[in-house]
């Protein structure tokens, strides 16, 4: 059970709810602040003061007053009007991630919502009644309005949900539970949709995936490094410590552990002065990517435990804030996208090197009977194509802004698009890593010296599902098998153990 209180939700907790169906409840400590905030809102409304989005219109309609008798209808109209997304639905895990983060921010107790509203969100999570949320429509400021509105529409029984493997009408699903749809009270509609939870929900999953991909790529690096007879002299502790970036140190330590006892590396240390950058500079590049993810983790953890709607309430006071602006996590989404794109670039350079007989001293395209056979010529093309896609996607969305709501909202973050593109970039990097696993294992078929024990074990894992390439065959099936192993975290868990990574 994950208990939310607005202050202590972790990225691991979000992933547990999203991917492992962990149940969620409000922490006992949060109830008092939730009730206090709701009471504060009602007191302000009784005074007759204008409160943005509660008894006024929205966006550039902020100066239009709404009669007291219509303030509940205002919230219902808001959800309906803002449910304007388009595109394919976000996957169930992503929407679960968004929902738990939104519930956590509301539980922080600055939003004036009822505990019943938060509990209804948690009911949907715990029963796996997941709103259908189109992927496009948010500009990442004024909150993730359109996608979060689709969650609200489902809560009202007017939208669609994923339930038991198919899309159904939310009203019918609630009816089967003997439960009435939720009726939003004062401010609750705007509190739901005015925040950064969609950016954060996507980023919480993709940041974790990025971390896993880096660790998995240690294993593919081990194969190609030994296949290319790399020298590990550049990984010496004192040399790396002379430039004490944290990521560089922990990656270098992992590499030293992975290559300990390798006869291939011992021989290379005697014969080679230095390697090409894609081998020699791996601690610096991998370390920089890891440091980027660590920074992203820090920013994202703050954001998922922040009050991000508007206005916020505290002890009878209310303020129209800018906390809904997605810039902090928009920039992190772009930063991680750039880092993971370059991560794929360095892997592709080793793939290109390993099939080039002039650079690798291995048979052309890793096959003995070349000419008649093309061997692994084309997987490098595939890696190059994926890198090109990533380079196109890596353009920072947060560098753009298009004003909305008749220029009342004249600077936006575009953070949701930044987070969405990271999904595609990570998929492509995963495939590039799978290609390095495939070709790296084949490269060891031609070595006369023994690799390190960890490298040999990684090789045997590959060979348990993929036979050595002797004559041409389609490689797509072999890559899919390796990808399945990655999906099962086989390489991730092995590298964590064998490389003593992060220990």
Query: Cα 77 from chain centroid?
Result: 32
User: Cis link prior to 126 (omega < 30° from 0)?
Assistant: no
Count of CB atoms situated within 10 Å of the CB of 450: 15
391 and 42 in contact (C-beta within 8 Å)? no
Calculate the alpha carbon distances from 83 to 116, 133, 479, 502 in Å.
Answer: 22, 9, 40, 44
> Can you tell me the distance from the alpha carbon of 335 to that of 299, in angstroms, rounded to the nearest whole number?
12
Q: Is 238 exposed, middle or buried (0-12, 13-18, 19+ CB in 10 A)?
A: exposed
CA nearest to 206, candidates 393, 435, 439? 393
288 and 247 in contact (C-beta within 8 Å)? yes
Q: Are strands 86-89 and 134-136 parallel, antiparallel or unpaired?
A: antiparallel
What is the gyration radius of the CA atoms in the chain, in angstroms? 26
CA angle 459, 461, 464 (to 5 degrees): 110
219 and 163 in contact (C-beta within 8 Å)? no
Q: Which of 52, 110, 163, 376 is catalytic?
A: 52
190 and 309 in contact (C-beta within 8 Å)? yes
- Any catalytic annotation for residue 437? no
DSSP 181: P
**Residues recognised as catalytic:** 52
């Amino acid at each position: 059970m994950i208990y939310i209180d607005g202050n202590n939700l972790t990225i691991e907790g979000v992933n547990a709810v999203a991917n492992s169906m962990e149940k969620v409840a409000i922490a006992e400590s949060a109830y008092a602040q939730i009730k206090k905030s709701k009471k504060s809102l009602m007191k302000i409304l009784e005074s007759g003061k204008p409160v943005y989005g509660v008894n006024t219109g929205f966006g550039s309609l902020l100066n239009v007053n709404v009669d007291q008798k219509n303030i509940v209808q205002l919230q219902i109209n808001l959800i309906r009007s803002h449910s304007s997304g388009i595109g394919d639905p976000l996957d169930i895990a992503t929407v679960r991630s968004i929902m738990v983060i939104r519930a956590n921010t509301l539980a922080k107790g600055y939003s004036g919502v009822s505990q019943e509203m938060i509990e209804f969100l948690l009911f949907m999570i715990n029963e796996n009644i997941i709103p259908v949320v189109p992927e496009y429509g948010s500009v990442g400021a004024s909150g993730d309005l359109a996608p979060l509105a689709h969650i609200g529409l489902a809560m009202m029984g007017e939208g669609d949900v994923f339930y038991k493997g198919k899309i159904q009408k939310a009203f019918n699903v609630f009816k089967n539970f003997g439960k009435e749809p939720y009726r939003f009270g004062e401010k609750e509609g705007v509190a739901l949709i005015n925040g950064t939870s969609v950016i954060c929900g996507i980023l919480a999953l993709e940041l974790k995936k990025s971390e896993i991909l880096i660790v998995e790529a240690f294993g593919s690096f081990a194969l190609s490094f030994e296949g290319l007879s790399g020298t590990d002299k550049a990984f010496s502790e004192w040399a790396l410590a002379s430039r004490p970036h944290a990521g560089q140190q922990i990656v270098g330590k992992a590499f030293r552990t992975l290559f300990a006892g390798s006869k291939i590396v011992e021989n290379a240390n005697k014969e080679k002065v230095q390697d090409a950058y894609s081998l020699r500079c791996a601690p610096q590049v991998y370390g920089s990517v890891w440091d980027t993810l660590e920074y992203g983790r820090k920013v994202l953890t703050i954001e998922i435990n922040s009050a991000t709607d508007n206005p916020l309430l505290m002890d009878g006071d209310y303020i129209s804030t800018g906390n809904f602006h997605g810039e902090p996590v928009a920039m992190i989404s772009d930063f991680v996208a750039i880092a993971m794109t370059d991560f794929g670039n360095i892997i592709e350079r080793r793939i290109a090197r390993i099939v080039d007989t002039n650079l690798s001293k291995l048979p052309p395209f890793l096959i003995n009977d070349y000419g008649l056979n093309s061997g692994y010529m084309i997987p490098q093309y595939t890696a190059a194509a994926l890198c090109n896609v990533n380079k196109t996607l890596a353009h920072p969305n947060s560098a753009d802004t298009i004003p909305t709501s008749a220029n009342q909202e004249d600077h936006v973050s575009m953070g949701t698009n930044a987070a969405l593109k990271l999904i595609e970039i990570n998929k492509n990097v995963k495939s590039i890593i799978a290609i390095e696993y495939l070709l790296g294992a084949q490269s060891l078929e031609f070595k006369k010296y023994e690799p390190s024990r960890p490298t040999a074990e990684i090789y045997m894992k590959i060979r348990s599902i993929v036979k050595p390439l002797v004559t041409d065959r389609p490689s797509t099936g072999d890559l899919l098998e390796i990808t399945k192993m990655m999906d099962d975290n086989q390489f991730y868990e092995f590298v964590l153990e064998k490389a003593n990574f992060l220990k």
